[in-house]
């Protein structure tokens, strides 16, 4: 696929708002606090149910949908953090439960909820507890890229200054100059279950955010982040991490080595899925 196919010069907005799965049936889903709570989950846990999330698009392979975006912000010192919504108290079947959710994320009209991340067991992780004590900064893991291993020790906070060469960066996989990635963790200090994330700083994302309200609110200076858990069977995929990706036309995408699912980090779509409830 050529660049112009992926990013038509004047239709970035259309590209970024397409793809509501079963859109006709979605009216109203995710627009109120109550809509994110599915009565079918009352007996088995907290929250979950029908959820509409923004995600990097799944373009090939067996994965059923994209991986959810983590909206980000960058502090005054350049450190990148994932936004965790404020905790609300909702009533489910007469029982009060806590849910981290904002119903009108930064004035976009989008409901951003922790439900976006409740799949593949992540719903039971410590970091998904609404009131888990975290500063929400993204921290480097051991690093899947040479530059990252040279720059960070495991646990260091990711900083925008370290992505300054994002317009040129490349490795020996795919095309250089699409964006500079890093891998890391979120809300996972001193816990057993680590939430894996990936960030990518790209001119393409910067440009697309100029035409899309949600991207403008969820990204900053071209930095996009997502929960890095394959929606197929929960492996941890990678952007430009596997030389095998080229066999599946995924050298410039996010490739899951387990069963060859491919995701496009330059195509942000809405997905509908049934989020799993947090265990009692
Ligand atoms: S493709 Fe199967 S776990 Fe990713």
Residue 32 has pLDDT above 50, yes or no: no
- Contacts of residue 27, defined as CB under 8 A and 6 or more positions apart, other chains included, come to none
Give the integer Cα–Cα distance in Å for 246 and 175: 11
Per-residue exposure over 22-40, b if at least 16 CB sit within 10 Å of its own CB, e if not = eeeeeeebbbebebbbbee
187 in a structural domain: yes
Q: Does the structure show a pLDDT above 70 at 3?
A: no
As for ligand 1, residues whose beta carbon falls within 6 Å of it are: 61-63, 230, 232-235, 256, 258-259, 261
Q: For 209-213, what is the mean pLDDT? A: 94
Give the integer Cα–Cα distance in Å for 109 and 99.
18
Other Cβ atoms closer than 10 A to 131: 8
pLDDT of residue 218: 98
Q: What is the percent of the chain where pLDDT is above 70?
A: 84
Q: Render pLDDT for 65-102 as a digit per residue (tens, 0 to 9).
A: 999 999 999 999 999 999 999 999 988 778 888 999 99
- Residue 44 pLDDT: 54
> Which of 59, 62, 248, 253 for mutating ligand 1's site (highest number of atoms within 8 Å of CB)?
62
CA of 236 to the centre of ligand 1 (A): 8
Cα 251 to middle of ligand 1, angstroms: 16
Residue 164 placed within a domain: yes
Rounded distance from Cα 258 to ligand 1 centre (Å): 5
For the CA of 61, the nearest atom of ligand 1: 1
Q: Where are the beta strands (DSSP E) in the chain?
A: 49-60, 67-68, 72-74, 80-82, 87-92, 95-102, 112-113, 139-140, 180-186, 195-201, 223-227, 238-239, 254-256, 261-275
pTM of the model: 0.85
Instruction: Specify whether the CB–CB gap between 72 and 223 falls below 8 A.
Output: yes
> Between 36 and 238, whose confidence is greater?
238
Strand ordering across the sheet containing 223-227: 139-140, 180-186, 195-201, 223-227
Residue 257 placed within a domain: yes
Domain membership of residue 208 (yes or no) is yes
Tell me which residue range forms the domain holding 113.
3-275
- Provide the CA 18 distance to its chain's centre, in angstroms: 17
Q: Whose C-alpha lies nearest to ligand 1, atom 3?
A: 233
Task: Note whether residue 280 is domain-resident.
Answer: no
pLDDT of the residue at 154: 97
The best mutation among 226, 261, 263 to test binding of ligand 1, ranked by most ligand atoms within 8 Å of the C-beta, falls on 261
User: How many structural domains does the chain have?
Assistant: 1
- H-helix or E-strand spanning residue 151: helix 146-151
Mean pLDDT of 140-147: 96
Substitution site in 229, 248, 255, 259 for ligand 1 pocket (most atoms within 8 Å of beta carbon) = 259
Ligand 1 mean position to 89 CA, how many Å? 35
């Amino acid at each position: 696929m050529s660049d112009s196919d992926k990013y038509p010069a004047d239709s970035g907005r259309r590209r970024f708002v397409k793809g509501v799965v079963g859109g006709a049936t979605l009216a109203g889903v995710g627009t109120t606090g109550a809509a994110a709570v599915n009565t079918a989950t009352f007996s088995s846990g907290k929250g979950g149910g029908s959820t509409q999330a923004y995600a990097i698009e799944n373009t090939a392979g067996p994965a059923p949908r994209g991986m959810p975006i983590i909206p980000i912000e960058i502090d005054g010192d350049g450190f990148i953090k994932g936004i965790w919504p404020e905790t609300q108290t909702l009533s489910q079947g007469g029982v009060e439960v806590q849910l981290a959710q904002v119903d009108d994320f930064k004035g976009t009209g989008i409901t951003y909820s922790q439900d976006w991340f409740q799949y593949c067991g992540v719903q039971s992780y410590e970091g998904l507890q609404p009131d888990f004590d975290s500063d929400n900064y993204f921290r480097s893991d051991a690093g899947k890229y040479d530059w990252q291993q040279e720059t960070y020790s495991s646990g260091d906070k990711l900083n925008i200054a370290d992505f300054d060469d994002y317009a040129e960066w490349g490795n020996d996989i795919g095309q250089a100059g699409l964006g500079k990635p890093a891998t890391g963790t979120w809300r996972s200090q001193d816990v057993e279950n680590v939430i894996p994330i990936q960030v990518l700083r790209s001119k393409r994302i910067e440009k697309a955010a100029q035409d899309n309200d949600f991207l403008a609110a969820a990204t900053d200076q071209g930095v996009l982040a997502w929960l890095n858990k394959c929606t197929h069977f929960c492996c941890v995929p990678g952007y430009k991490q596997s030389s095998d990706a080229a066999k599946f036309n995924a050298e410039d995408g996010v490739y899951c080595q387990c069963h060859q699912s491919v995701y496009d980090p330059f195509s942000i779509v809405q997905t509908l899925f049934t989020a799993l409830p947090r265990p009692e």
